[in-house]
């Protein structure tokens, strides 16, 4: 039994939904279908979810909402007409929009309810379309499916009791089409996951029904070993482990919302990333364990937007509690940190720029100066992190050497190296203006 999730580009138009229909029709094991809201049809287009967010903002400001409702309904009408499915779906979508706008929900509750309409409508349309193709499909609301979440609007977390109810869905004969992106709190209130959250729904459903495979359909053939915007036609990754995917998506590997993998990961459900536009391509498999003889480095990921807080003090290594007190100051200022590599008499703390404001930065510096008496303290901006990822590194010799040689050949100075004891990745901090050059040089070393 398979759970197939289709992203925004796969349901963006009638033409795309027809492809979804044939993917489902092709394999009777695809018993659970999770859909996103219609996404962009072309570059510059607006996703339905973004139109719904605009609608919410108009409603919030007590401005006229009718033109936005018309714009949203136009997108849905086009799809429904071109697919030649019953117009009652359109009435149901329009009723949901109006009843949500006129409800007495306020603030984030209303925002979440409006945001969910994209996925909800998409699931209604897809299930109706599948019926016209002779398939026994049924729209299933996340509440009926059993997706129960924490009461955190826009940031729902699945609650463990969901899985028992979801498991009973296995008995159904029909194909269940479930909207992604939202669940219901115990109180019955609709709550959405973070943006991109339909992947999370897919993974929860796969874990709940104990699927043999969770297929995530997008618009790329596979995950690539490196960002295709930097390297043209990079090698495709055929197999990855969950841990490798986590490391890769941490540093800006756009394909997957890493949090989305957790439910599938915990239930040990294999994941396959596939392309709706080219379903016969084998895609990328994400599994819990890989054969030990496969290549040790699977990918290179990178991200910018880091700063380095550097503190040095002679005999720091003998001062009990220095590190803890330094990190506690950050904690008390509400700043989370990414890495903290240290030397004998110095410590660097790598922080994402979005964690810092001018005021927080000043507080942190003043407090470290007065509470820890360091000799030097500085904050250096404009860092990029590059990760060389692969579980096989644990048993391989020379990965760090090969990587540092790549930096040396490109004449790039490494500002920081961090290798966790898990040995799933080695991380390098460099100046951000050298990032593309560094990625190219590493790619040549490991993949060319
Ligand atoms: N439609 C939602 C978003 O745009 C969720 C998703 O597509 O996964 O964030």
DSSP string spanning 158-202?
B-TTHHHHHHHGGG-SSEEEEE-SEEE-TTS-EEEPSTTTHHHHH
d(CA 278, CA 73): 29
Ligand 1 geometric centre to CA of 330 (Å): 32
Q: Tens digit of pLDDT for each residue in 429-442? A: 999 999 999 999 99
Is 118 labeled as ligand-binding? Answer: no
Residue 38: CB within 6 Å of ligand 1? no
Reading the block at residue 120, the tokens are: 């909800």
Using CA atoms, how far apart are residues 10 and 278, in angstroms rounded to an integer?
11
For the segment 370-395, the average pLDDT, to the nearest whole number, is: 91
Q: Is the CB of 275 under 6 A from ligand 1?
A: no
Pairing between β-strand 284-287 and β-strand 271-275 as defined by DSSP bridges: antiparallel
* Closest-CA residue to 250 (of 379, 381, 424): 424
Whether 67 shows a pLDDT value over 80: the answer reads yes
Alpha-carbon gap, residue 372 to 199, rounded angstroms: 45
Check pLDDT > 90 for residue 423: no
pLDDT tens digits for 283-309? Answer: 999 998 887 666 789 999 898 999 999
Q: Which domains does the chain have, with CATH numbers?
A: 2-219 (3.40.1160.10), 299-447 (3.30.2130.10)
Q: Any known ligand binding at 219?
A: yes
The pLDDT confidence band at residue 396, using thresholds 50, 70 and 90, is confident
pLDDT for 256 beyond 70: no
pLDDT for the residue numbered 290: 82
Residue 121 CB less than 6 A away from ligand 1: no
Weakest mean pLDDT among 153-157, 180-184, 421-425, 438-442: 421-425
Paired tokens of 336 = 């989370």
Q: Is 118 in the pocket of ligand 1 (CB under 6 A)?
A: yes
Q: Is ligand 1 within 6 A of the CB of residue 49?
A: yes
290 annotated ligand binder: no
Predicted TM-score (pTM) of this structure: 0.87
Tell me the CA distances in angstroms from 328 to 311, 345, 390, one per residue in order: 14, 19, 32
| CA gap 40, 387 in Å, rounded | 30
Angle value at C-alpha 257, between 255 and 261, nearest 5 degrees: 110
Residue 437 contacts by C-beta under 8 Å, 6 or more apart in sequence?
410, 412
- What atom of ligand 1 comes closest to residue 119's alpha carbon? 1
Atom of ligand 1 nearest to the CA of 199: 8
What pLDDT digit, counting tens, does each position of 87-127 carry? 999 999 999 999 999 999 989 999 999 999 999 999 999 99
Mean pLDDT of the region 229-256: 81
122 lines ligand 1 (CB under 6 A): no
């Amino acid at each position: 039994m398979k759970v197939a999730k289709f992203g925004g580009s796969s349901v963006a138009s009638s033409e795309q939904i027809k492809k979804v229909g044939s993917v489902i029709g092709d394999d009777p094991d695809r018993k659970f279908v999770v859909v996103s809201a219609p996404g962009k049809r072309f570059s510059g287009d607006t996703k339905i979810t973004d139109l719904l967010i605009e609608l919410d903002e108009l409603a919030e400001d007590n401005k006229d909402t009718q033109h936005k409702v018309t714009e949203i309904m136009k997108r849905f009408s086009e799809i429904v007409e071109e697919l030649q499915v019953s117009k009652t779906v359109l009435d149901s979508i329009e009723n949901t929009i109006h009843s949500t706008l006129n409800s007495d929900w306020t603030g984030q509750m209303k925002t979440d309810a409006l945001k969910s309409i994209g996925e909800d409508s998409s699931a209604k349309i897809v299930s109706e379309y599948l019926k016209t193709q002779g398939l026994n499909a049924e729209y299933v609301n996340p509440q009926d499916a059993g997706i129960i979440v924490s009461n955190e609007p826009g940031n729902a977390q699945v609650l463990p009791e969901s899985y028992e109810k979801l498991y009973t869905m296995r008995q159904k004969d029909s194909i269940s089409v479930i909207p992604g992106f939202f669940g219901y709190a115990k109180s019955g209130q609709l709550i959405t996951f973070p943006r991109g959250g339909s992947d999370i729904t897919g993974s929860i459903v796969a874990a709940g029904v104990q699927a043999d495979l969770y297929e995530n359909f997008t618009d790329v053939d596979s995950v690539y070993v490196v960002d295709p915007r930097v390297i043209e036609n990079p090698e495709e990754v055929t197999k990855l482990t969950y841990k490798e995917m986590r490391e890769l998506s941490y540093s800006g590997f756009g394909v997957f919302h890493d949090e989305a993998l957790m439910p599938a990961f915990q239930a040990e459900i294999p994941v396959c990333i596939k392309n709706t536009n080219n379903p016969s391509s084998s895609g990328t498999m994400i599994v819990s364990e890989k054969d030990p003889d496969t290549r040790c480095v699977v990918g290179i990921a990178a991200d910018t937007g880091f700063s380095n807080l550097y503190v040095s003090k002679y005999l720091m290594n003998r001062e009990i509690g220095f590190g803890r007190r330094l990190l506690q100051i950050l904690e008390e200022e509400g700043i989370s940190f990414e890495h903290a590599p240290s030397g004998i008499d110095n410590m660097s703390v790598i922080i994402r720029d979005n964690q810092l404001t001018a005021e927080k930065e000043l507080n942190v510096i003043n407090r470290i100066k007065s509470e820890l008496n360091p000799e030097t303290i500085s904050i250096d901006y404009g860092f990029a992190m590059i990760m060389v990822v692969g579980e096989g590194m644990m048993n391989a010799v020379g990965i760090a050497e090969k990587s540092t040689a790549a930096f040396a050949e490109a004449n790039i100075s490494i500002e920081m190296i961090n290798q966790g004891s898990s040995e799933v990745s080695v991380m390098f901090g460099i100046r951000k203006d050298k990032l593309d050059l560094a990625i190219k040089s590493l790619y040549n070393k490991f993949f060319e």
